[in-house]
Amino acid sequence: MARFAYVNGRYVDHLDASVHIEDRGYQLADGVYEVVGVRDGKLIDEKPHLDRLDRSLGELRIDWPVTRAALSFIIRELMRRNRLRDGLVYMQVTRGVARRDHAFPTNPVKPALVMTTKNTKPLGADVGAGVAVKSQPDIRWERCDIKTVALLPNVLAKQAARESGAYEAWLIDTDGCVTEGASTNAWIVTPEGELVTRQTDNGILAGITRGTLSAIADKLQLKFVERPFSLAEAKRAKEAFITSATSFVTPVVKIDGEPVGDGKPGATSRRLREEYVRFAEEGEAVT
Ligand code: PLP
């Protein structure tokens, strides 16, 4: 099957897709991105993802490369061309192409937009065996609320996790608290059954899956608490899990080699995964 990518106004063969070497995303990581899940041909939470893109662009004073309506059209056209039923749509906007200088270009440049899709196996309600995480120091900058393409600390943390046999890294701040994963939000279920995840501020990315799951938790009448939690508390938790557009809700069964709870995916994580998959399939807002 031919695979297309969208690059600055054109749908091109994925193998031939390229950007200019002076693109500020390539040279300076001066850009932002979004990843939207697709389930059974439907986009999951398109609106909040595009709202977050709008916010990221605004924080960095990058203009929209096309109108929001045009972006939605391009997403659908690329999905259609790539016959995407289940998987992900990746979109990236950079400040554009200009002679290299740290400061913004003085002559207005057009922001650059690229988009790709990825087919994946549909994520089902079954959580499987769960995953292991490894703690890593959170060495990122102080604007982790912006979804920028500057991901080197995340890359290094994820690589350290993978080299130790873990799936994800949990990032630890200077107070010993878990901020989030390298590419996921981090949650625990306390012995009292409360769902805990760190509050959203400049220290983490406000995950769209996280937001939807908090609405699902409300619907299920689970107590949802936003507060810092330490690595030590996470290790004593009844359950733990991660959320993202890519992993939905995935139980964490081991932290730094130590089992969480009985070392198996817990009932709350399994229930939340089921509800999230139902939400993704129905393509409706939870609230
Ligand atoms: N935190 C970080 C650092 C991420 O990179 C991501 C997703 O890429 C998330 C959290 C989860 O966000 P979302 O649920 O919107 O995919």
Distance CA 89, CA 165 (A): 28
Q: Which residue's alpha carbon is nearest to atom 1 within ligand 1?
A: 184
Phi and psi based region of residue 100 (left: phi greater than 0; alpha: psi -120 to 50; beta: remaining): beta
Contact 31, 96 (CB under 8 A): no
Taking alpha carbons only, the member of 112, 107, 113 closest to residue 96 is: 112
Check if 147 is active-site.
yes
CA of 235 relative to ligand 1 center, distance in Å: 22
CA of 107 relative to ligand 1 center, distance in Å: 33
* Helix or strand (DSSP H, E) at 269: helix 267-282
CA of 121 relative to ligand 1 center, distance in Å: 20
Contact 184, 230 (CB under 8 A): no
Q: Which residue's alpha carbon is nearest to atom 5 within ligand 1?
A: 183
Q: Which residue's alpha carbon is nearest to atom 12 within ligand 1?
A: 207
For a ligand 1 pocket test, name from 184, 197, 200, 212 the mutation site with the most ligand atoms within 8 angstroms of its C-beta.
184
For 224-266, write each residue's pLDDT tens digit: 999 999 999 999 999 999 999 999 999 999 999 999 999 999 9
Contacts of 275 (CB under 8 A, 6+ apart): 216, 219, 220
* Helix or strand (DSSP H, E) at 33: strand 31-39
CA of 266 relative to ligand 1 center, distance in Å: 22
Q: Tokens 């409360």 belong to which residue?
A: 194
Whether 133 has a pLDDT exceeding 80, the answer reads yes
| Ligand 1 atom with minimal separation from the 49 CA | 15
Distance CA 66, CA 64 (A): 5
Query: What local confidence, expressed as pLDDT, does residue 88 receive?
Result: 97
Average pLDDT over residues 118-141: 94
For 61-105, write each residue's pLDDT tens digit: 999 999 999 999 999 999 999 999 999 999 999 999 999 999 999
Q: What phi and psi, each to the nearest 5 degrees, are found at residue 28?
A: -130, 5
Ligand 1 neighbours by CB, cut-off 6 Å: 35, 180, 183-185, 205, 207-210, 243-245
Is 97 strand, coil or helix? strand
Dig out the tokens for 115 from the structure.
């988009």
CA atoms within 13 A on the CB side of 253: 13
Q: Using CA of residue 5, residue 110, residue 205, residue 21, what is the dihedral sign?
A: positive
Query: What local confidence, expressed as pLDDT, does residue 56 receive?
Result: 98
Dig out the tokens for 218 from the structure.
């409300």
Q: Which residue's alpha carbon is nearest to atom 3 within ligand 1?
A: 183
CA of 201 relative to ligand 1 center, distance in Å: 14
DSSP for residue 110: P
Whether 57 has a pLDDT exceeding 80, the answer reads yes
Q: What is the CA radius of gyration of the chain?
A: 19
Which is catalytic among the residues 147, 158, 238, 254? 147
**C-beta atoms surrounding 148 within 10 Å:** 19
Whether 1 has a pLDDT exceeding 80, the answer reads no
- Could you give the dihedral angle defined by the CA atoms of residues 9, 13, 19 and 25, in that order, rounded to the nearest 10 degrees? 90
Give me the percent of the chain exceeding a pLDDT of 90. 95
Q: Which residue's alpha carbon is nearest to atom 4 within ligand 1?
A: 183
